[in-house]
Every structure is written in structure tokens, then in C-alpha cells.
Amino acid sequence: MDNTADAIIIGGGVQGASLAFHLAQRGMKPIVLEKKFVGAGATGRSSGLVRMHYDTEVDARLAWVSFDYFRNWKEMVGGDSGFTRTGFLQIVGDKHYDALKQNTKMLQSIGIPTWLISSDDVARLCPHYYTGDFEFAAYEPESGYAMPSDTANSLMNAARQQGARLVQDCTVSGVKVNGGRITGVDTAQGEFHAPVVVNCAGAWAEKLNQMVGLELPYDTWRHDTMFVMRPRQAGPSHPATIDFRHEMYFRSEGELTLVGLEDNNPLGGSPDDESDHALPGFVDRAVDRICQRMPIMEQGGLHSAHGGYDGITPDQHPIIGAAGPDGYYLNCGHSGTGFKTAPAVGRCLTELIIDGEVTTVDISSLAPSRFQEGKLIGGTYDNIWT
């Protein structure tokens, strides 16, 4: 086996797969080294919401560029991302009304199809939602959700068809540097050589950064979700919804509704800990909240519940760019929102690696240097996930 490549990508999640796809599309021959299998990390557990509503322009622009891929997956990537258009609603409480208006304007100025609708409109759109606790919401009629494992696998398949390689069951245990330049990595399957190494290792990324002497503020974030079976009377679908009033989001998938909560997501746990089951107490809290927003769910039933781990940074934004030895790049710390942006991030990082400058979206604010420079990113909402 020839273990030399133009670039080594550590991690076969949706971010590593997107980067491999875009590098290969530009004629490079990358190798993706994945310690388990494609989608084994956060990607395989992701809720897959695809929406553009954000409170910072860089996120909204990355989501908007990515949306073009989700809508045209077959033509732009090949295979299937499972994108399903359900529409998207952002519900907030009165303390966030000004921010909601401001953000909707910002999104419209980018060209994103979104506007404010009244709670009466929401009631017409979603007859089973309780709408008595908010006045208006932001609506994106084109948005919805996609299937994260399918998305990552089709990106990886398309990358391989264009000359990328994937090596699974291959844990990177060391990053090799000579004279301040990246030369390759050590793995359980031997050495791999390349002048470029990209850390796409999600919740495990800090370990790799430490291997090249990079100390960046980084933590792990655990997030549990559950699927409930909707009662038949609740209808065939409902919009993907982020509901700040209940610190919750939910979306439909066939006869199921997926629910996640935005509070009590523990930081600092090992991403290798058991996550096939949700943490104690999660299901009770999630059932209580979904029944408050959709009272008809009291007639539903629990289908399943599990968790997942992502990397998180102090400003809850990803770290994308070069740092440390020449040839070392980071694409990690997606902080619970890095599924929907993966197509655009892979394209931007490819531009940075090959052209030395990024033209698709200005991602300079996401550079690793922002922590040392005290330029943390702030939005108009306190926190938003997914």
C-alpha cells in the first residue's frame, strides 16, 4: 500500500468527508484516516437540521452556501443526503424579539428565504403546536433536515471516485514534524506521509493538537436526543423547529419526531464514554417539553434515545484554519452545529489549502488565532445549537 498522499485528513466524519471531496475535486489525492468508520462520531448521532437561521453572518453564509448542496445533492455531489424539506421555525421568547428581527433582516440581506410570521400563522401551519406563548417566529420555508450518515458517506464515495483514499480502523497516534514542517502521521497501520495534515477529529481533536504542541481552548460537549412516535392524528410532518422558550428543538422524520434539549448538555466528558443510551432524566425532561409545545404528543410513545459528542470552543464556533507547524490545519470544534455547514466548510478549507486564500465565505473570524487575540465571536442570542 502506498502510504503517501497530498494531504492527510484525520477523521471520517462529515467534515473530513467534505474536505476530502473538495480536495479531490480540485485534483489533490487526500487520504482520510478514520479510527472506526465513516460517521462513527458526532456525525452518526447528529440530528441533521438544515437551516440558515443563525445570529452571526459567518454561520449563516456557511449554511447558505451548504444549502445549495443539500438542494442539489445529486448534481453537486452524487448519491443522496436524505435532505427532506419540512420548513423551519425559530420560536423565541420576548427577550429575544429584537434579536430575532435583527437576525431575520441579516439573513434576508444575504438572500436567504426567511421572514417573520405571526403566532396565528404558525397555528395555521402547525395546527398541533401551542402558540399562546409567543407573538411571532422566523420561518424558512425551504429548510428541513438531512440524514447525516448518508451525507458523509456520499461525500466520501464521491471523494474516492475522484482519487481520495479512505482507511478505516486506523487511529492516528502521532503527528510527524521535521524542521517546523508537517511530514505525516503515525498510526496503528504504520506511517503515512503528506505535507499537509488536517485535524477533523471532532470531540477527539484536542489530543491531536497536543501532538503538535498546540494549546487551544477546547472541550467536549455531550448532547442527547430522543425519537418519539407521533400519534397518527398529529399529521404526517411538521417543520423543524428551534424553540428557545423550551430550550428545545425538534423535527419530524416519517412517523417519528426527534427532540433535543439545549440545556444540561455536559461538558468535559470522554467522547469514548457510553452514549448508546441517553443520560438519566433526559427522556422525562424532553417528553415534558415536547408535550408543552405539541400537547397531542401526550398520545405518542417513546421510540429510542441516545447521545453523541462534539468538540466545543469557548465561543461555540469552529476552529478553521492553519496553526502550529507548516502544513497543519484545523477543522474542529463545531460546537453542536457542524453538520449543515460541512459542504461549505470543506470548500473554504480547500481554497485555503490550495489557493492560500478563501473566496467562498470569509471565514477569517474562525481562525485558530482568535483565542490568543481575544477576538471571540459573539452573536445576538446567548446560545444556539444544532
Q: Which residues contact 292 (CB under 8 A, 6 or more apart)?
A: 130, 246
Taking alpha carbons only, the member of 331, 338, 241 closest to residue 42 is: 338
Q: Would you count residue 225 as binding ligand FAD (CB under 6 A)? A: yes
> Measured from the CB of residue 207, what is the shortest distance to ligand FAD in angstroms?
7
User: Measured from the CB atom, is 35 or 293 closer to ligand FAD?
Assistant: 35
**What is the residue whose three cell numbers read 503515525?**
186
CB 313 within 8 A of CB 330: no
Q: Would you count residue 204 as binding ligand FAD (CB under 6 A)? A: yes
For ligand FAD, the binding residue among 96, 176, 246, 340 (CB under 6 A) is 340
x-or-dash string of contact with ligand FAD, 345-364, rule CB under 6 A: --------------------
Q: Would you count residue 257 as binding ligand FAD (CB under 6 A)? A: no
Q: Would you count residue 156 as binding ligand FAD (CB under 6 A)? A: no
Distance separating alpha carbons of residues 217 and 322, to the nearest angstrom: 16
User: Measured from the CB atom, is 8 or 234 closer to ligand FAD?
Assistant: 8
x-or-dash string of contact with ligand FAD, 282-321, rule CB under 6 A: --------------------------xxx-----------
How far, CA to CA in Å, does 371 sit from each of 216, 310, 318, 382? 8, 19, 12, 19
The size of the interface with ligand FAD (CB under 6 A), counted in residues, is 40
**What is the residue whose three cell numbers read 447558505?**
64
How far, CA to CA in Å, does 320 sit from each of 22, 136, 230, 369? 15, 35, 39, 10
Q: Which residues contact 95 (CB under 8 A, 6 or more apart)?
A: none
Q: Would you count residue 49 as binding ligand FAD (CB under 6 A)? A: yes
For ligand FAD, the binding residue among 33, 100, 212, 261 (CB under 6 A) is 33
**Residues at the site binding ligand FAD, with contacts judged by CB under 6 A:** 10-16, 33-36, 40-43, 45-49, 171-172, 200-204, 223, 225, 308-310, 332, 334, 336-340, 386
